[in-house]
Structure 1
């Protein structure tokens, strides 16, 4: 079992992106501008895309997707069992169009084939679907493939607010959004297509990379040809950057704790105040509480009026101790 230590540097990994929007907004066309895509076409819509990927798979059931030709298989070579990769080894990005057909139709029917009792037991059926789906995603990730799931837009009205979300049944949608690194809504504004990742009151989104609302370049331009590939790169870079920041934040708090343990003078105690304020916000409160407790045990207390540490007897004489 691999273990990532708290101070380990995390390398780039494959990412999962969900794109959804109304018909005619070019979801599939945008997805196929990712690096070396393989389109798993469950929506019979590949011929509507502006550009076709190198390999197109027309799927009508789960077995068409999860099979040896696509995923790969174990074979015996010279008496040794080895993994022979399928079509996904030839691509860098797997595009599923649409996720609803794959999850709600194909995978659901496959789960019932495995156990007919699951037709009425929806809770157990979704549990099995979740396990199979995670297994599928795990294989793609082990191949170092990025994954893009395409969904139609589903509108739900709550009072005066109309909320947009990926069109999948509740549990399938929850599973999809949970594993996604980035979720983007594609729509048209002023005759321009725009992709929006930031979640709001009226749309579902996920924006790990903090990408602002972005106009999608016109078809046929050099910018469009690499548009999705560029977005994927930004997401990967953001994930690594956040990880690097977390590593540095942990190193800073570890160093602060070492200084705290060695404090023996008032000056050293007061130096820790600036160190505490320089920590990442997520660590500040916990470290301040630890600092007050441990320095208090050493006879130092914080004077409210000066916001500085003083010896216990000095604070008592002032009658103003935190």
Structure 2
């Protein structure tokens, strides 16, 4: 099993994006501007998109999706098993439209067909569905495919405002949001369409890449033709940059700890205050507490009023 060391730089990986919004906001059309997309059309809505990608249109049950032609299978070559990808091997992006039909309809029914007892045990059924779904996603990602799940918008009244969220049953929605890197709500503002990733009180969102609200270009423009591909590229770059920043932050903490171990004088201790201030904010307080504790054991105390370290004064009789 491969191990990523704490100081290793994480390479780009496939990402999972959930897009949801009200009808007419162009969710499917936007998704098809990703790189080399394959649309798994479980909602019978491919003809509403402004441009047509490769499409799986015959999917009416889970077996239609999870089969050798689409997903792939193991074959024997030269006496050993090798994986031969199906249609997904020819595509860079898999678009599922909609996630609700795939999870709540197709996969739910398939789980019950496999074990009829699951029809009356929803908790166990969702556990089985979750494992099968993660296996499916794992195969797509192993092919280096990005995945876009499209959902309709579900409005629920919460107090004085209406909250927007992807339209799936509770446990399916939780699973979808948990595995996603980005969850974006598509809406209209001032006559323009925009994707909002940041979670708010009135909408579900997820923004691992810290993207700003993204305006969607007009249909037919050059910018629109690669809009989703550009967003996915930004997400991947942001995730890698975050990883680089985490590595550098960890290295800075380790270097600071070594300087703390080597500190012997009050001057050394006070120089470490500047080192602590240079650390990532989430590490600063913990490192300062560690400094105070370890330097106290060396006879150097921290004067809270003067905000600096001083020589420990021995008590006198």
Which residue does the alignment assign to 2:191? Answer: 191
1:208-237 Cα distance to aligned partner (Å, 9 max, x none): 222222221111000000000000001111
SS in 1 for 2:247: helix
Q: Distance in 2 between matches of 1:43 and 1:139?
A: 22
1:122-152 Cα distance to aligned partner (Å, 9 max, x none): 0000000000000001001100000000000
Displacement after TM superposition at 1:304 (Å): 2.1
Which residue does the alignment assign to 1:114? Answer: 114
Which residue does the alignment assign to 1:43? Answer: 43
Cα contact 1:38–1:56 (8 A) shared by 2: yes
SS in 1 for 2:6: coil
Which residue does the alignment assign to 1:247? Answer: 247
Which residue does the alignment assign to 1:146? Answer: 146
Displacement after TM superposition at 1:288 (Å): 1.1
Q: How many residues align?
A: 316
> Which moves more between the two structures, 96-105 or 3-12?
3-12
Cα contact 1:44–1:58 (8 A) shared by 2: no
> Which moves more between the two structures, 79-88 or 224-233?
79-88
Cα contact 1:195–1:215 (8 A) shared by 2: yes
Q: Distance in 2 between matches of 1:50 and 1:111?
A: 35
Which residue does the alignment assign to 2:101? Answer: 101
Which residue does the alignment assign to 2:301? Answer: 301
Q: Distance in 1 between matches of 2:164 and 2:305?
A: 52
SS in 2 for 1:195: strand
2:291 is the counterpart of 1:291: yes
Cα contact 2:41–2:55 (8 A) shared by 1: no
Q: Distance in 2 between matches of 1:259 and 1:168?
A: 53
Which residue does the alignment assign to 1:25? Answer: 25
Which residue does the alignment assign to 2:208? Answer: 208
Q: Distance in 2 between matches of 1:201 and 1:78?
A: 58
Displacement after TM superposition at 1:79 (Å): 1.8
Aligned-pair RMSD on alpha carbons? Answer: 1.1
> Which moves more between the two structures, 287-296 or 148-157?
287-296
Q: TM-score, normalised by structure 2?
A: 0.98
Q: TM-score, normalised by structure 1?
A: 0.96
1:246-286 Cα distance to aligned partner (Å, 9 max, x none): 10000000000000001111111111111011110111111
> Which moves more between the two structures, 55-64 or 157-166?
55-64
> Which moves more between the two structures, 209-218 or 126-135?
209-218
Q: Distance in 2 between matches of 1:69 and 1:171?
A: 29
Which residue does the alignment assign to 1:58? Answer: 58
Displacement after TM superposition at 1:78 (Å): 2.4
Q: Distance in 1 between matches of 2:185 and 2:160?
A: 20
User: Any residues of structure 2 matched to 1:76-91 within 5 Å, and which?
Assistant: 76-91=76-91
Which ranges in structure 1 are unaligned for 5 or more consecutive residues?
A: 318-322
Displacement after TM superposition at 1:188 (Å): 1.5
